[in-house]
Structure 1
Amino acid sequence: MELTIEKLTKRYGDKDAVKSVSLNLTPGVWGLIGANGAGKTTLMRMLTGILSPTSGRILYDGAEISVLGERYWDRLGYLPQTFGFYPEFTVTDYLEYISALKGLTRHQAKRRISMLLELLALDDVRKKHIRKLSGGTQRRIGVAQALLNDPDILILDEPTSGLDPGERARFRNLLSEMAQNKIVFISTHIVSDVESVATQNAVMKNGKIIGIGTTELLLEEIHGKVFYAVIPADALQTYERSICIVGVKSEGDSMMRVRYVADSGQIPDSCPSNPCLEDLYIYLFHEKGGSHDAEA
């Protein structure tokens, strides 16, 4: 099973949102990593057939998805960044409605819904109105609808948005289990969600794929370039102007522990540190003087 993307481009006016992207997706978890506006959602919407590319092709097992039509969509599960539902829908109403749209029989729908409600810890809210549930719970309902038809290809756009840390951990475990015989393609800017489970990662910036590989392979770019140091708090802004700082943590007594990426130790008494995917992400999308949310 392969989903092949060949020189895919999507143009809006004189702007290319996606620029000649080529990927060969095989079973496993694939992380699509990039900042907001990198082109991730546009790429995913083309993979689902919602958007038509300006140029390039998408092939499923050698056949173009535009030719396969419903034969492709029947094997596809998709979670968009936001999904709509009627205000009066309960969780079960919604999943039954989506099951009918996907062509499941009543018996198939009942069995799949029951299994997914338990799998995604939604059984206790099955009769509640979706509009009254938390954003994290609504996100899990979105994952459930994507899985109703037991798809071979699962495309998830920012699937952990709104989930708490425990929900995110359970979701990662679920992805690992599912990916044994599925292509799972996850768009995210929360790199910790894919670092431990992704078979391969693709890094997207300004509409282009700028890196493909395992986490270990991608991290070679910053191997030996990650450091930490303790500095006076009032020196932080000065260092931010010239160094890619990826994490800051208070040490007390007006001191700060900073983690940064550079070709060599730029701060006195710096110590080397093992790189992680978040270091690479911030390094690639760093803007001087920008914010940093990670801890050092």
Structure 2
Amino acid sequence: MKLEICDVSKQYKDKCAVDHANLTLTPGVWGLLGANGAGKTTLMRMIAGIMKPTGGEIRYDGIEIDTLGEKYRDIFGYLPQEFGFYPGFSVQDYLEYMAALKGIGKKETKEKIQELLEIVSLTDVRKKKIVKLSGGMKRRVGIAQALLNDPKVLILDEPTSGLDPGERMRFRNLLSEFGRNRIVLISTHIVSDVEYIATCNAIMKDGKIAAVGETEELVKEVEGKVWNAVLDMAEAMTYETKVPVVNIYNREDGKTVLRYLAERPVISGSEPADARMEDLYLWMFPEQGKEEVR
């Protein structure tokens, strides 16, 4: 099983949203990381067949997805950033409607919806209208519809938006299990969503695939550039505009630990720290600031 993105571009009148992207996805969980505006959503819409590339091809097992047509849609699941639904739809109505569009039989639909509602913890609100649900619950409805046809290729665009920490943890565990023999691609700028479950990560910047690799391989770029400094709170705050700060946390002894990025230590007493994906993200996207890394 293989999904190939071959020299894919998307050009608008005055902007190149995706610029000659190349990526080969194999079974497992893949993270697609990048700042807002990096081209992630455009690339995903092209993988989903919703948008046509200006150039290049997307192939599933060697066959271009437009040629596969319905066969590709049968094995494909997609959760966009925003999914549409009729205002009068209950959770049950919506999932039954989506199952019908996906060509799933009535008996299988009933069993699958029951299973998915339990997985995403929505059984108690199955008769409730989607418009009356919280943002996190709506997101879980979207996740359920993406899984209805037990897809071999699952594409999720910012899937944990609106989920609380507990929901995000359960969702990550679900995807980790689901991705054992399927291709799962998660687009996000929340590094923790993919740091521990992704088999591999692709980093997108300015419409290009800037780096691809396992977490341990990718973070080598910032090894020796991550530092911890122990300071008084007042002193720590003075460095927020002087160095790229990853995070700041307070210790029980009243001291503050400031984690920052630099080619060499710039704060007296700084100690080297082990590099993580959030450090690499901020190294590559310093303009995003630490609020993007959760």
The TM-score normalised by the length of structure 1 is 0.94
SS of aligned partner of 1:45: helix
How do 1:64-75 and structure 2 match up within 5 A? 64-75=64-75
SS of aligned partner of 2:291: coil
Mapped partners of 2:254, 2:217: distance in 1: 38
How do 1:95-174 and structure 2 match up within 5 A? 95-174=95-174
SS of aligned partner of 2:18: strand
Partner of 1:4: 4
Q: CA deviation at 1:294?
A: 8.2
Question: Contact between 1:245 and 1:259, CA under 8 Å: does it hold in 2?
Answer: yes
CA shift digits 1:89-131 (9 cap, x unpaired): 1100000000011111111111111111111111111111111
Mapped partners of 1:215, 1:280: distance in 2: 10
Mapped partners of 2:293, 2:169: distance in 1: 19
Q: CA deviation at 1:86?
A: 1.1
Letter aligned with residue 227 of structure 1: W
Please, what is the CA RMSD of the aligned residues? 1.9
CA shift digits 1:56-96 (9 cap, x unpaired): 00000000001111111111000000111111111000000
Partner of 1:45: 45
Question: Contact between 1:201 and 1:212, CA under 8 Å: does it hold in 2?
Answer: yes
How do 1:1-296 and structure 2 match up within 5 A? 1-236=1-236, 239-250=239-250, 256-287=256-287, 291-293=289-291
Mapped partners of 1:94, 1:30: distance in 2: 28
Mapped partners of 1:234, 1:19: distance in 2: 44
Mapped partners of 1:118, 1:149: distance in 2: 16
Unaligned runs of 5+ in 2: none
CA shift digits 1:227-275 (9 cap, x unpaired): 1113355555653444221112346999643111111111000011111
Q: 1:171 to 1:295 in 2, by over 3 A?
A: closer
Q: 1:16 to 1:295 in 2, by over 3 A?
A: closer
Number of matched residues? 294
SS of aligned partner of 1:293: helix
Question: Contact between 1:225 and 1:261, CA under 8 Å: does it hold in 2?
Answer: yes
Q: State the percentage of identical aligned residues.
A: 57
Mapped partners of 1:255, 1:293: distance in 2: 22
Mapped partners of 1:291, 1:261: distance in 2: 12
Greater mean deviation of Cα atoms: 269-278 or 148-157 = 269-278
Q: 1:253 to 1:176 in 2, by over 3 A?
A: closer
